Structure 1
Amino acid sequence: MGTTTIARRLAVAVGTFAAAVTINAGGAAAQDAGELYLYNWANYFPPELIEKFEQETGVDVTLDVYDSNETMLAKLQAGASGYDIVFPSGYMLGVIIDEGLARKIDASELSNFGNVRAPHDAPSFDPERAYSAPYMWGTTGIAYDTDRAPELEESWKEFFKPRDALKGKIAALNDQVEMYNAGARYLGIDVCTEQPKQAQQILDLLEAQKPHLAMYSSTGTVDRMIAGEVVMHHMWNGAAHRAKEQRESIKYLYPKEGLAFWSDHMVVVKNAPNPENARTFINWMMAPENAAAASNYTGYMNAIEGSSQYLNASLKNDPAVNMPDAYADRLRPSKECSPEARELRDKVWTRLKS
């Protein structure tokens, strides 16, 4: 989950529940002792799907939850034993692999891996999917009210250089990485640039935009759009979907210059007590019907081809969540920038907000 996504989920109450589930995954590998221990984000996996897995495989599942990637990492680094699968975001997955905390599972060899859509089949942090398989993913783009604005071009230009009728009616996320990266993509600059002149170009763009914004805010995005407080909002696709549920005229844009997408993944822990059950579960979750059940519960999209036929109508019919294939080449995965690049980004944001 991206930085902003982590922040959103820090507000979710953390709890633990155990679910006894019995299940059978056709063609799966031999079982371990009939147990499986998941460590996932709070409110991020449907209890009924755990029950279905148990009923089909005979494996008893226990789910424990965390509130951030960092909490999960700290537990693994401290040597916590007993967990089989964790669900890190892309950038954290790279850390887990680099620190030797992930078990090699060769997910690309699992029978259901052929269902995985590009570009989720070969992410930069695990290009061969040797250690992971996809779970949920989302994007950060632009939403606007079609009843209060003309049809807009699918471009960051509408956000950074707004039409006169929209000036003062636009909200931006109060997020350094999202804003800086969106500006960089509009200008055709590498989001991890180490060149001061290019960082200055991004700052110039953001400063020119600033007078036309109603606010910078990463909270209340859904309610703000529903209430009509702004006409356009820089926001996450799941938030745009929830806003559209209450205000049908809201449309989500996929800027042609590219937009950020975050992703969460299923990873088997290095010292997992039930590695074969973990592989069985991961393969099972790449079946279209099961992936769709997770999407229906979380409100975010999965990466599995064929899952759309099982989605709730509200998700299936909303391109903000069920992204049209034509937009796949606009997705830009998060990148871990160098210290020099991060320092430039920090300076730009500090100047902008001063």
Structure 2
Amino acid sequence: MSRITVSRTLRAASVLTVTAVVATACGGSGSTTAASSGGGKDLHVYAWAGEIPDSVIKGFEKETGIKVTVDTFDSNETMSAKLNSGASGYDLVEPSQYTVQQLIGQKLIEPLDHSKIKGLDNLADKFRDPSYDKGNKYSVPWIWGTTGFAYNDTCIKSATSWKTLFDGKYKGKLYMLDNMLAAYIAGLQVSGHRATSTDKDEIAQATSALQKQKKILAGYNSTNYPQLLSSGQACAAEAWSGTAMAKVVQSNKNVHYVIPEEGGSIWTDGLAIPKGAKNITSAYAFINYLLRPEVAAKATDDGASASTNQAARAHIKDKKALENPAIYASDEAIANADFLLDPGPAMQYFQQGWTKVKAS
């Protein structure tokens, strides 16, 4: 595969420009100080579409007087290409975990000054020192989710394993995500390996499993698979947690989202400061604002996403979201889940294998 696209919540490629609400910065405990140096009172953000709710942007503008402009992307690769062009003009970007690794290696994002950040201790333990960015040196996780699968119990009574998606009895009623590394999560784990494997032989075993599986699939689908599950057209499908899947799980009692017993994976999207950012003070002010529990709760209430902020859970109004596994997977469910990391030189093995899978 030539790219690693992670459009988990069916996010459209759109551009949102938020009009400034100029106001005097609020005082008192927990308020965000308006930018006074490092680029004035502007902030340019490049983020996944729909992941930073309008309510968050407007609240920040009202409190600080900082004008926020948000451009959105639909893949990490689009965002990385913009940064590689050398003239992005952004003060904050929102890469996924493996892209943080890539941007660090390419020296396209700045190390964070933790003396300017307040609230990192609000993050859940698994996001405070993640494997892809030890010590949160370059990024602050904002939202998170999982890769697992969903099934319709009118077709499949119960399912807990990736083996369900490789079972010939459901031929023509199974779907896999049309995404190379997402497919290899299942291929590797059903073969007894970790999703983070970079071993050539293990990847070859996963390739063989995916080639055999393709014969029983209805197709690869990264767009409307939640609706196919809801209608019963699909018995089971590999799935990303998030808005679209969560809505179907909530509205259709027959559809269930599960993290497979083999592990599945965890993804996260976080904030980083790109090289050449001009409005540094505004960037840190925004990071601090998002780390406040009552603000982070809006990622769930207004964005239907799981917040990385453990302290935010007490402020979430939609309590059903906390019980929806397609938003918040339980700690037990993700105990064996891996953060999907940048495979580095092993990418060639995945690309070569995926070409074979698609051609089989």
TM-score, length of structure 1 as denominator length? 0.86
For 1:35 and 1:123, the matched residues in 2 are separated by: 30
Amino acid at match of 2:209: L
2: CA distance between counterparts of 1:236 and 1:155? 16
CA–CA distance in 2 between the matches of 1:350 and 1:181?
16
What residue number does 1:77 align with? Answer: 84
In structure 2, the residue matched to 1:237 is 241
* Matched position secondary structure for 2:147: strand
Q: Distance in 2 between matches of 1:209 and 1:96?
A: 34
Q: How much does 1:134 deviate? A: 0.7
Deviations 1:140-182 (A, max 9, x none): 1110123432222x322232346x4x44432222322212221
Deviations along 1:100-159, one digit per CA (max 9) or x if unpaired, are 33222244873311111132212233211122101122221110123432222x322232
Change (3 A) 1:313 1:71: same
Q: Deviations along 1:181-239, whole A, 9 cap, x unmatched?
A: 2121222324443333x334223322443343333322321221121101211111123
Post-superposition offset of 1:28: 5.3
Q: 2:90 aligned with 1:86, yes or no?
A: no
2:104 to 81, 97, 100: 97
Which amino acid counterpart does residue 259 of structure 1 have in structure 2? G
* Conservation of the 8 A alpha-carbon contact between 1:39 and 1:87: yes
Q: Secondary structure at the match of 2:333?
A: helix
SS at match of 1:234: strand
Given the superposition, is the C-alpha separation of residues 13 and 65 from structure 1 closer, same or farther in structure 2, using an over 3 Å criterion? closer
Q: Rate the CA distance shift 1:38–1:214 in 2: closer, same or farther, 3 A.
A: closer
Amino acid at match of 1:225: L
Percent identity, aligned pairs only? Answer: 32
Shift of 1:283: 1.7
**Corresponding residue for residue 176 of structure 1:** 180
The equivalent residue for 1:347 is: 352
Matched residue, 1:155: 161
Superimposed CA distance per residue, residues 228-280 of structure 1 (whole angstroms, 9 cap, x where no aligned partner): 10121111112321222432221111112211222211112333223223212
Is the CA contact 2:20–2:61 (under 8 Å) kept in the aligned structure 1?
Answer: no
Per the alignment, residue 261 of structure 1 pairs with 266
Decide whether the 8 Å contact of 1:226 with 1:247 is kept in 2.
yes
1:203 and 1:348 in contact (8 A); partners too: yes
Q: Is the aligned partner of 1:312 residue 2:313?
A: no
After superposing the two structures, state which structure 1 stretch, 15-24 or 78-87, moved more. 15-24
Q: Which residue of 1 aligns with 2:279?
A: 274
2:122 alignment partner in structure 1: 115
1:327 is paired with a residue of what secondary structure? Answer: coil
For structure 1, which segment, 181-190 or 131-140, has the greater mean C-alpha deviation from structure 2 after superposition?
181-190
Distance 2:308 2:8 in 1: 23
Q: What's the CA shift string for 1:14-59, capped at 9, x where partnerless?
A: 3434333544472756732333332223333222211211233343
Is 1:189 matched with 2:193? yes
Q: Which amino acid aligns with 2:229?
A: M
Aligned residues: 348
The question of 1:206 aligning with 2:210 is answered: yes
Whole-Å separation in 2 of the counterparts to 1:223 and 1:195 = 36
2:265 and 2:338 in contact (8 A); partners too = yes
Query: How far apart are the structure 2 equivalents of 1:57 and 1:176?
Result: 42
Letter in 2 for 1:268: I
Unaligned 5+ runs, structure 1 = none
**1:304: Cα distance to partner?**
0.7
Of 305, 324, 335, which residue of structure 1 is paired with 2:330? 324
List per-residue Cα deviations over 1:318-348 (Å, max 9, x = no partner): 1221121223323211222243x33332333
Residue 226 in structure 1 maps to residue 230 in structure 2: yes
Aligned twin of 2:339: 333
Specify the SS of the correspondent of 1:128: helix
- CA deviations 1:53-95 (Å, max 9, x no partner) are 1233343323233343333333333332643211112222223
1:20/1:108 CA distance change after superposition, 3 Å: same
1:3 corresponds to: 4
TM-score (norm 2): 0.85
What corresponds to 2:14 in structure 1? 13
